[in-house]
Amino acid sequence: MELQCFQCKHKLPIQALAYTCPKCGSLLEVEFSDKELKRNLKCYPLSGPLRVWRYRALLPVLDFSKVVSLDEGGTPLIRCDRLARYLGIEELFIKFEGANPTGSFKDRGMTLGVTKALEFGAKIVACASTGNTSASLAAYAARANLKCYVFLPKGKVALGKLTQTLIFGAQVFAIKGNFDRALELVREVCEKNPRIYLLNSINPFRPQGQKTIGYEIVEQLNGSPDRVFVPMGNCANIWAIYKGFTEFHRIGKIKKIPSMIGIQAKGAMPIVRAFKRGWDYFEPVENPETIATAIRIGNPVNGIKALHAIRRSKGMAEAVSDKEIVRAQKLIAQLEGIGVEPASAASVAGLIKLLRSGEVSKDEKVVCVATGHTLKDPEEAISISEPPKVISGDVRELKGLVR
């Protein structure tokens, strides 16, 4: 296995401490050869419960004694018959990433990323975040006894995520700017201080943990679905899941790679715009805005990778309004009992839109990735719900209300 530049294909040894290509500045990828994949699987056959570390044969770790884990992964793939019937589709599943230890898919990337931080001998880790990355990094850093710096857009991080980041003991900097600015800042900080290990998704190892979402979907369905819907923010996750499918394809576990559908919020849709215009580049959105604060991102660092995953898998990109996100969030909650945060509901909102336009047909097997738990953003959930009816406690007050 080695690091390879996504654009110019320049190669670096896997032990190299680098985030971008020294030649062209693009993102780095971890690549296994077919021979390595097969050999590793012989040494560590897939066994044990569904978890990130079930796939150790396919993960780029050099020293397994360093693994930092909270038993992440193995999230339920929930068959949603009521929601499917309501939407008029035959088979719909929600991959509920809210069931991870800190309540989002980020834990899959952080178990690997923090393990790599220890391999590199780091004592400090850092990230910029819309909230979930920081909650997850703070937890794994605490477990690994690493100092953790976090840069957040002030006033734009949901309460649950901020709560987690603080209680896990991270040093939090709230910056007067959006996520894109916070990311620029932390990149600068880590460049100036190479002792600080950067754990945003430009880190080549994090998506390697997240690719296990793809592996698990295949194992849970005993094959490939037709389509996988993924909300896009910084755009690493859709790429990572796609990568998981391509590797399972290479080792003969699946015959077909599902089509990847990337969903953004209308106020933050640089990749959807690029996809629809047929561009192989994208123009950043200046002042991104959406109720789904997790994906309130105008200049996604992994945007090019997302375009690649979508096009290669014959997928699509679509944008949804805040109103559509809220409606989908309520449907998922009230028809299926699955509580997700707004960014996660974007995947189902996208499905609703593409079913209506006829671009997805009713007989397709669809998986929507629900990336984060509803308790991440309790204020939003309360604001879109019917408020409690206040009563003084006399049973007569309930007349007509409780039948």
CB of residue 295 vs ligand F0G: minimum separation in angstroms?
A: 5
Token code pair at residue 163:
């709560």
CB of residue 327 vs ligand F0G: minimum separation in angstroms?
A: 18
Contact 236, 304 (CB under 8 A): no
73: nearest Cα among 30, 44, 104:
104
Contact 86, 360 (CB under 8 A): no
131 versus 209: smaller Cβ distance to ligand F0G: 131
CB of residue 35 vs ligand F0G: minimum separation in angstroms?
A: 30
57 versus 152: smaller Cβ distance to ligand F0G: 152
- Residue ranges in contact with ligand F0G by CB under 6 A: 104, 106, 129-133, 201, 231-237, 294-295, 341, 343-344, 371-372
Burial state string for 142-153 with b = 16 or more CB within 10 A and e = fewer than 16: bbbebebbbbbb
DSSP conformation class of 372? B
Token code pair at residue 386:
């019917």
DSSP conformation class of 340? B
257 versus 294: smaller Cβ distance to ligand F0G: 294
> Which alpha helices (H) appear in 251-321, and where do they start and end?
270-277, 303-312
Q: Which residues pair with 77 in a beta bridge?
A: 95
CB of residue 45 vs ligand F0G: minimum separation in angstroms?
A: 30
329 versus 371: smaller Cβ distance to ligand F0G: 371
Q: How many residues does the chain have?
A: 403
CB of residue 300 vs ligand F0G: minimum separation in angstroms?
A: 7
CB of residue 100 vs ligand F0G: minimum separation in angstroms?
A: 11
CB of residue 106 vs ligand F0G: minimum separation in angstroms?
A: 6
Contact 197, 124 (CB under 8 A): yes
Which helix (H) or strand (E) is 190 found in, with range?
helix 179-192
CB of residue 88 vs ligand F0G: minimum separation in angstroms?
A: 26
CB of residue 58 vs ligand F0G: minimum separation in angstroms?
A: 19
Strand 171-175's sheet: what is its strand order? 171-175, 147-153, 124-128, 196-198
Token code pair at residue 118:
């220890």
CB of residue 363 vs ligand F0G: minimum separation in angstroms?
A: 28
Instruction: Give how far the C-alpha of residue 113 lies from the chain's centroid of Cα atoms, to the nearest Å.
Output: 14
Cβ-proximal residues to 46 (8 Å cutoff; 6+ apart), any chain: 54, 55, 57
220 versus 234: smaller Cβ distance to ligand F0G: 234
CA–CA distance, 309 with 316 (Å, rounded to integer): 10
133 versus 212: smaller Cβ distance to ligand F0G: 133
CB of residue 231 vs ligand F0G: minimum separation in angstroms?
A: 4
Side-chain-side CA neighbours of residue 244 (13 Å): 28
69 versus 100: smaller Cβ distance to ligand F0G: 100
57 versus 377: smaller Cβ distance to ligand F0G: 377
Identity of the residue numbered 23? K
Q: What is the DSSP string of 11-68?
A: EEETT---SB-TTT--BEEEE--HHHHHHHHHHS-S-SSSSGGGGGGGS--S-GGG--
110 versus 118: smaller Cβ distance to ligand F0G: 110
115 versus 329: smaller Cβ distance to ligand F0G: 329
Q: Name the one residue in this structure whose structure tokens are 């509901």.
A: 345
233 versus 244: smaller Cβ distance to ligand F0G: 233
